[in-house]
Amino acid sequence: MGGIELARPLYFWLGFLATATGVVLHLPMYLHGADMHYRLAGMEMDTPMTIGMALIVVGLAATGYGLIPRGAFASRPAGEVRVRALDDARMRPAHLGLIVVLSIAVIIDAMKPITLGFVVPGMAKEYGLRSALNPHGEWPAAILPLAGLTGTVLGSLLWGWMGDRIGRKPSILFAGVLFIGTAICGAMPDIRWNLVMCLLMGLGAGGMLPITFSLLAETIPPRHKGWVMVLIGGNLAVAYVAASWLSAALAPTYSWRIMWLIGLPTGVFLILLNRFIPESPRFLLAHGRDEEAHRIMARYGAATTQAVELVEDEQPGGYSRLFRPPFTGLTVAVVILGLSIGLVTYGFQLWIPSNLQKLGLDQPTADRALRDSALLGLPLIFISAAMYGLWSAKKTIVVLATLVGAALVVLSFAGESLAQDRTWLYILLAGPIVGTATIAAVLAAYSSEIYPTRVRSRGSGLSAGVGKFGGVAVTAFLVAGAAAPSIGATALLGAVPLVLAVAAVLLFGVETRKTELQPVEV
């Protein structure tokens, strides 16, 4: 089990099976709608679905109980000691395996909110929601992304707290089981149930990336950590490729609902990978589980270290601490950059499938266009990883934000006319799709390095949470009655804060490269 045992394995696995069974009981109603192209809106929930929902609730409760370690809320003082791979440690097969497994976890996690943009056109049509393709609907289509993105904001903060209190691995596994349970969004006949499930899905999806980076910080050798984090975070763009490809391949035949039902097999796959996911050694040390901690540290060539923090601090940790000196300026830069990422990701990207269809592309063509744009930009992930690891973290952020901002400025003034020139449209779309995902990866890695140990998980959670908050702000504005956004409007909305973010990072950002850690005896 990645070097540790689950707290109560019987409860965990029974909860997992109950949750998966509950989802399976929703499938008959979905399959019975095949002759109507899986249109279920307005139908009554059948008995298997009702039983299935009860099983999911019980299963999630049992899973949570099975994952919470004994004494999780009574840790012993750990001082300023933390765990890091030694400076001279080499990359081992264990490191490479962890990179592969966490990359898969990030792809599965990121596909959840990304899928929102691909299901909105079909969902709006089935439920009669107001959107760019259906301007006369009663409820705004933005209400679905609003529910999901609100969940991701709350999840980023909640999972940051959970990672510190119950452990990195249990937090990741509970998110995986939650992904499975919320797959029933694809079988819900009532829009209100879709909103509830979408909110819960967001809770699980919001916290995975910061938890992943906190775990990597304790296992990957320092000289490799930067590029590894950016490379893994860059899988947000790979997730976009996967979501757009699946939508183009499956949605025309199985409707938009299949995009949610995919959460069942992907969630199960994530849970089955659990034996390859280690627990945080520092978390184990803080809870008196020294033997398990040292077993994991030996596997990854890590040791307890006394860190020289980039910004020193001796006051108690907490989210409010991030906004007081000496972190004020640094946190301002993180918040502005995070908000700009959110505005592009959930403002521009969320509505681009609908806007491309509004410009005359049918759904499969629009989805393939987005897939091809994402594939075109994938090399940027590897270039950025090399820049972050070999050149400068701060300068990498500035360069990427400038490039994406420039692409958005062009799209804001010529986006709709570019529909006639597919080549330039694909090239320019690669910037907001892949570039923004790469900036998000760099920011996640950066925020896991710049804050002191006692507030590191909360700092990572904050950087992820404010990005989601940008999406909440955009969708809340649309739900309040604003017109469905055009390509130009959403591009400009992201370009302006990116310019401000560049200025903030230049003014307040700190450099993380070549920071050394010295091992100490404990």
The C-alpha atoms of residue 275 and residue 298 are separated, in whole angstroms, by 17
Phi, psi of 45 (to 5 degrees): -70, 130
Q: How many CA atoms lie less than 13 Å away from 185 in the CB half-sphere?
A: 32
Instruction: Look at residues 167, 177, 174, 269 and name the one whose alpha carbon lies nearest to residue 218.
Output: 167
Q: In the structure, what pLDDT confidence band is assigned to residue 73 with cuts at 50, 70 and 90?
A: low
Would you state the structure tokens that stand for residue 56, as one six-digit string? 């999911």
State yes or no: pLDDT of 517 exceeds 60.
no
Q: Which of 5-14, 22-31, 60-69 shows the lowest mean pLDDT across its residues? A: 5-14
The predicted-structure confidence for 184-230, as pLDDT tens digits, reads as follows 989 989 888 888 888 888 888 776 766 777 777 777 887 777 788 78
The pLDDT of residue 456: 67
Note the pLDDT of residue 318: 60
**Three-class DSSP category at 64:** helix
The C-alpha torsion from 101 through 105 and 110 to 115, rounded to 10°, is: 110
The better pLDDT of the pair 327, 51 is held by: 51
38 within 8 A of 255, measured Cβ to Cβ: yes
DSSP state of 43: P
Task: Find where tokens 């879709």 sit.
Answer: 194
Angle at which helices 436-450 and 208-216 cross, to 10°: 50
CA 280 → CA 83, 182, 203, distances in Å?
9, 27, 22
User: What does the pLDDT read at residue 511?
Assistant: 81
**Average pLDDT value over all residues in the chain:** 80
Residue 291 corresponds to which tokens in the numbers above?
Answer: 């033997």
Determine the pLDDT at residue 16. Answer: 96
pLDDT at 295 over 80: yes
Q: Is residue 30 very low, low, confident or very high in pLDDT (cuts 50, 70, 90)?
A: very high
Predicted confidence (pLDDT) at residue 278 exceeds the cutoff of 60? yes
- Phi, psi of 414, deg, nearest 5: -135, 15
Q: What is the predicted pLDDT for the residue at 47? A: 92
> Smallest Cα–Cα separation from 486: which of 440, 422, 418, 421?
418
H or E stretch at 307 = strand 302-307
With b for 16 or more beta-carbon neighbours within 10 A and e for fewer, the 268-289 pattern comes to: bebbebbebbbbbbbbbbbbeb
Residue 257 has pLDDT above 90, yes or no: yes
The predicted pLDDT at position 496 comes to 87
The number of residues making up the chain comes to: 522
Mean pLDDT of 246-269: 92
Q: So what's the pLDDT on residue 250?
A: 92
Between 76 and 56, residue with greater pLDDT: 56
State the chain's maximal CA–CA distance in angstroms: 69
Q: Which of 29-33, 154-158, 284-288 has the lowest mean pLDDT?
A: 284-288
For 115-129, how does the pLDDT look when each residue is reduced to its tens digit (9 = 90+)?
Answer: 888 888 888 888 888
Segment 302-317 shows an average pLDDT of: 55
Q: Express each pLDDT in 431-487 by its tens digit.
A: 888 888 888 888 877 887 777 766 666 776 677 777 777 777 777 777 776 555 677
CA–CA distance, 251 with 441 (Å, rounded to integer): 29
Residues in contact with 326: Cβ distance below 8 Å, sequence separation at least 6, in sequence order: 311, 312, 313
Of 151-155, 302-306, 386-390, the poorest mean pLDDT is in 302-306
pTM of the entire predicted model: 0.79
Long-range own/partner contacts, residues 34-40 (CB < 8 A, 24 or more apart)? 37/255, 38/254, 38/255, 38/257, 38/258, 39/126, 39/255, 40/187, 40/188, 40/189, 40/257
Q: What percent of the chain has pLDDT over 90?
A: 16
- Identify the pLDDT of residue 481: 60
Say which range, 139-153, 292-306, 319-333, has the weakest mean pLDDT: 292-306
At residue 79 the predicted structure's pLDDT band, cuts being 50, 70 and 90, is: very low
Structure tokens at 177: 């089981």
Domains of the chain with CATH codes: 9-519 (1.20.1250.20)
**Residues of the chain with pLDDT > 70: what percent?**
85
Within 8 A by CB and 6+ apart from 192, the residues are: none
pLDDT at 21 over 90: yes
Structure tokens at 356: 């491309």
The number of CA neighbours under 13 Å toward the Cβ of 71 is 10
Q: Is the pLDDT of residue 260 over 80?
A: yes
Q: How confident is the model at residue 513 (pLDDT cuts 50, 70, 90)?
A: low
Q: Give the span between the Cα atoms of 53 and 34, in whole angstroms.
A: 22
